[in-house]
Amino acid sequence: MRSELHKVFLKKKIPLRVIFATFLVAAGTVYAADSELEFQVISPARLHGEVAESPLYSARPLNPSLAGSASARQVGMREAVQSAVEWHPAIGESVGELHRQQQNIRAAKAGYYPQLNVGIVGGYDSKNDGNGDGHAVQLYLSQVLYDFGKISSSVDAATASAQASQARVLQQIDQVARDTAQAAIEVQRYQALVKSAEEQVQGVSAISRLVNLRSQRGASSRSDVLQAQSRIESAKATRQQLEAQLARWRSVLQNLMGTEQPVALTAGIPESVVHGCQIDPMQASYAPAVLLAEAQRAEAVAQLREAKAQSWPTLSLDGSVNSYLDQEYVDTNALNDHESAVFLNLSMPIYQGGRIFANRDAAGFALRAAEAAKDNARLSVVRDLRISQSQSDGLSRSVSILDARLRAIAETRDLYQQQYSALGTRTLVELLNSEQELYQARIEKNNTEYDLNKLQVDCLYTVGEIRNAFDLQGRPIQGVEVLP
């Protein structure tokens, strides 16, 4: 078979370039088939190995500043938030995207400078009877003189895109700060709930001891002793459930801070968070969501300018130098070894199937959508802030009422104990129920207080003030500095 093909090539004198082109097409077909088969088999171990072996691999599963100790670390809420934003990979991802957009600005500004290209040109010229194969080294230089705003609008679009990336960095910082603060509040909540559950265990245990004394004196039945013991076991089970929830939220906080070291959270919240919902809704204009929408609108304006400029001509100064490599071709066509030219180039699209006008109309609609998105972002921020403020006002009024209720129930419980032990005018069920009611009042008060704290954090997050509340302004965060 090979000899027959060889005879055909020799007989028909097929040019070498045709044979080479045929070989490239065949090789490309085989390579494409192999590539398709390769990606039909998925191996997680192989994927991880290829990523880990890359020189760009720099995964940081933990916060390096918090590693190396097995003892519990005592932190406050502010310190926990600051530790989280200093390492969290979600922020690092947005910062990396910001750096990429900054390079896009450089790429857009490169259009202002001369464009220098070099290449090797090879081809076949059939206009002469001599050797038609020619090769040349070509040096080409072009400088835009005037383009009706094509380059400037491209730079503006890239700048607006970078500003949008800045807003996304702020969003990620605020998101991590809010998640960490709320996880810290949940830890504080369950610390308080576990303490209340422990107080219930102690209270029911005190009642059980009182019942045992009465039973020894013959004043209480065996059923009273068993009922009191049953309440103790129920209180212990509740405490165990709350301790499990506390461990869960401590793990969440530990994960956000990026440390294997156990975290012990101090009580209380920063003073700057206590009145977080007392914010003027007019500050909604500085919320990251609104800033992002504004940057996207500016990008849409620049893209509309660029689309309109595409229908106008571009004036450039072009120059070229050709150096021919085939002396026989030069002699046959009466050419110089080196040819150069300098000329003004005015180019303008005449007809491209309506693409330019379609792009212009699309950019116009994109601008309208961006303007509506900006208004919607501001409306959403104001709405969320007002909802949180309304809920905060209601919970603030409830706290004082719950305090008074808790004091009244505690006094009632103490009175019932005196009446049960001294006078016998209260039953064991009434005494146990009063202890349970006191526990429920403690739980309700604690939940209300910590729900209020979470609302304060939500208000700060909504308008972009959470960075100021946790002292994140003016400090470096993963390679960027956040200013007021």
Tens-digit pLDDT profile for residues 412-463: 988 888 888 776 677 888 888 888 999 999 999 999 999 999 999 999 999 9
Of residues 308 and 28, more confidently modeled:
308
CA separation for the pair 456, 454 (Å, rounded): 5
Q: Which two tokens stand for residue 84?
A: 């989280």
Q: Are 378 and 358 in contact (CB under 8 A)?
A: no
Most confident of 172-186, 204-218, 220-234, 332-346: 172-186
Nearest CA to 71 out of 260, 265, 267, 266 is that of 260
Please give the full DSSP string across 261-272, using - where no structure is assigned: S-EEEPSS--HH
Exposed/middle/buried for 7, CB within 10 Å: 0-12, 13-18, 19+? exposed
Q: Are 314 and 147 in contact (CB under 8 A)?
A: yes
Query: What band does 48 get if pLDDT is binned at 50, 70 and 90?
Result: low
CA separation for the pair 131, 51 (Å, rounded): 53
Poorest-pLDDT segment among 68-82, 242-256, 332-346, 388-402: 332-346
State the average pLDDT for the chain: 83
Over the stretch 176-201, which tens digit does the pLDDT of each residue have? 999 999 999 999 999 999 999 999 99
Nearest-10 Cα torsion for 469, 258, 73, 240: 100
Query: What band does 11 get if pLDDT is binned at 50, 70 and 90?
Result: very low
* Residue 314 CB neighbour total at 10 angstroms: 18
CA separation for the pair 300, 278 (Å, rounded): 35
pLDDT over 90 at 1, yes or no: no
- CA-CA distances (angstroms) from residue 134 to 117, 131, 282, 323? 20, 8, 71, 11
CA separation for the pair 5, 9 (Å, rounded): 6
For residue 475, what are the contacts with CB-CB under 8 A and spacing of at least 6?
A: 481, 482
pLDDT over 60 at 346, yes or no: yes
Q: Which two tokens stand for residue 96?
A: 């990396």
The model's pTM: 0.81
Q: Are 453 and 469 in contact (CB under 8 A)?
A: no
Sole residue written with tokens 């909504």: 462
Q: How much is the pLDDT for 254?
A: 93
Q: Are 423 and 219 in contact (CB under 8 A)?
A: no
pLDDT over 60 at 16, yes or no: no
CA separation for the pair 152, 108 (Å, rounded): 8
Report the share of the chain in percent with pLDDT over 70: 80
Phi-psi category of residue 67: left, alpha or beta, with phi > 0 → left and psi -120 to 50 → alpha: beta
Q: Which fold has domain 60-481?
A: Outer membrane efflux proteins (OEP) (1.20.1600)
pLDDT over 50 at 93, yes or no: yes
Sole residue written with tokens 């069920």: 429
Exposed/middle/buried for 217, CB within 10 Å: 0-12, 13-18, 19+? exposed
Q: How much is the pLDDT for 9?
A: 42
Over the stretch 306-318, which tens digit does the pLDDT of each residue have? 999 999 999 999 9
Q: How much is the pLDDT for 13?
A: 47
CA-based radius of gyration for the chain: 38
Q: How much is the pLDDT for 284?
A: 85
Residue ranges of domains in the chain: 2-50, 60-481
